[in-house]
């Protein structure tokens, strides 16, 4: 528990006065993601502590440097969870970094992403001011939804000091079912099942097998299990965790790793390399050294986008934006950070 907001604000103001860019960091677990960090490192990891947690309110507020691990074990003690199942990618992962990277785990298609659970933030903008948006209530439409805008902005719009999240009860029962299916058939099944009232909470195809997780009341899970078939997996939870943390064998090796975000029902993509289908079809992991253009072209052709996730060209990690959108994003960046001191180039070369 340490409140370092004043020091952080001073550091931002100093950087502002001297015109020096800052590279914001949390636990450093996601330093590989997006553009190469540039500027003087400013760590938020000392700004820690759960500020408020009332299980009955389904809300948790913590300082941005609080380790994810601490938050998740606190929640588990009350039978609750972060339903977007954030990947940690390392022991030091902090809440702030999690929100800034905007990454979500296997439950995402059914429960929502980070941005669906963020209720409010306290932050420092590029003028060195401390601001508060949103709050700790479930519904809030006073002012623009700046809190959600911070999700996935990779710290380019401001330094997050504190985040309030909606949390959910843990499901009473959970089971993972495995069955052998081809990729095309698996994608079709995942989508058909998603259209039925089944307690799905994860669905992936690893090249050979379709894995489906069911979460909910014991009776609902049992009924769905009879309906879907397949064999229960003994260490199902470990499987989803290995997928979320990219420790699954699929992610091993030295070739570049791509993340393709596509409409869920998109048939298998004909790209050379290995693929793993997650999020019920909506997220395709690709290990491949095919040229960037080819991958981006195919992703765009089906209405999706491609992120160079690891081991690729960090200068162009994210899918290029159409010109009008690019202009607008630049203006938004300037609205929050007129001097461009926060994480230059982390999201796009120009922001």
- Kindly state whether residue 178 participates in binding another protein, applying the rule CB under 8 A: no
Backbone angles phi, psi at 190, to 5 degrees: -55, -40
Structure tokens, 71: 């938050």
Structure tokens, 153: 């902005």
- Kindly state whether residue 27 participates in binding another protein, applying the rule CB under 8 A: no
Torsion of CA 212, 217, 219, 223, to 10 degrees: -20
Identified binder of another protein from the candidate list 17, 138, 208, 301, rule CB under 8 A = 138
The stretch near another protein (CB under 8 A) out of 6-14, 24-32, 86-94, 141-149 is 141-149
Structure tokens, 215: 């979460």
User: Restricting to residues 281-300, which ones interact with another protein according to CB under 8 A?
Assistant: 282-283
The stretch near another protein (CB under 8 A) out of 37-45, 188-196, 231-239, 248-256 is 188-196
103 touches 92 (CB < 8 A)? no
- Kindly state whether residue 328 participates in binding another protein, applying the rule CB under 8 A: yes
Identified binder of another protein from the candidate list 18, 19, 142, 293, rule CB under 8 A = 142
User: Restricting to residues 90-109, which ones interact with another protein according to CB under 8 A?
Assistant: 102, 108-109
User: Restricting to residues 144-163, which ones interact with another protein according to CB under 8 A?
Assistant: 144-146, 148-149, 151-153, 157
Identified binder of another protein from the candidate list 50, 178, 264, 290, rule CB under 8 A = 264
119 touches 99 (CB < 8 A)? no
State how far the Cα of 242 lies from the Cα of 46, in Å rounded to an integer.
Answer: 28
Q: How far is the CB of 13 from another protein (least distance, A)?
A: 14
221 touches 239 (CB < 8 A)? no
Count of residues near another protein by CB under 8 A? 85
End-to-end CA distance of the chain: 33
Query: Could you tell me which residues are beta bridge partners of residue 321?
Result: none
The stretch near another protein (CB under 8 A) out of 36-44, 90-98, 241-249, 277-285 is 277-285
């Amino acid at each position: 528990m340490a409140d370092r907001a004043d020091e952080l604000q001073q550091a931002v103001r100093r950087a502002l006065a001297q015109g020096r860019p800052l590279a914001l960091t949390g636990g450093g677990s996601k330093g590989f993601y997006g553009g190469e960090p540039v500027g003087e490192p400013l760590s938020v990891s000392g700004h820690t502590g759960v500020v408020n947690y009332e299980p009955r309110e389904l809300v948790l507020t913590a300082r941005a440097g609080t380790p994810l691990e601490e938050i998740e074990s606190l929640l588990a003690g009350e039978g609750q969870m972060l339903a977007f199942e954030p990947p940690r990618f390392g022991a030091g992962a902090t809440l702030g970094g999690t929100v800034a990277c905007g990454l979500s785990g296997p439950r995402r298609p059914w429960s929502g992403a980070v941005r669906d659970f963020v209720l409010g933030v306290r932050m420092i903008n590029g003028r060195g001011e401390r601001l508060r948006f949103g709050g700790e209530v479930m519904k809030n439409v006073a002012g623009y939804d700046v809190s959600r805008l911070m999700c996935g902005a990779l710290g380019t719009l401001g330094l997050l000091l504190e985040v309030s999240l909606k949390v959910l009860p843990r499901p009473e029962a959970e089971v993972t079912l495995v069955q052998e299916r081809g990729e095309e058939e698996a994608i079709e099944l995942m989508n058909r099942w998603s259209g039925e009232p089944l307690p799905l909470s994860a669905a992936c195809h690893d090249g050979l097998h379709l894995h489906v997780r069911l979460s909910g009341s014991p009776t609902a899970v049992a009924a769905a299990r009879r309906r879907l078939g397949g064999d229960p997996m003994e260490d199902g939870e470990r499987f989803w965790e290995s997928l979320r943390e990219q420790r699954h064998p699929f992610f091993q090796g030295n070739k570049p790793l791509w993340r393709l975000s596509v409409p869920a029902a998109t048939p298998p993509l004909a790209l050379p390399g290995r693929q793993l289908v997650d999020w019920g079809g909506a997220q395709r992991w690709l290990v491949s050294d095919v040229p960037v253009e080819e991958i981006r072209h195919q992703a765009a052709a089906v209405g999706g986008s491609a992120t160079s996730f690891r081991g690729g060209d960090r200068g162009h990690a994210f899918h290029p934006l159409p010109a009008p959108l690019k202009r607008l994003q630049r203006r938004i960046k300037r609205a929050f950070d007129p001097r461009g001191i926060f994480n230059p180039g982390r999201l796009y070369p120009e922001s």
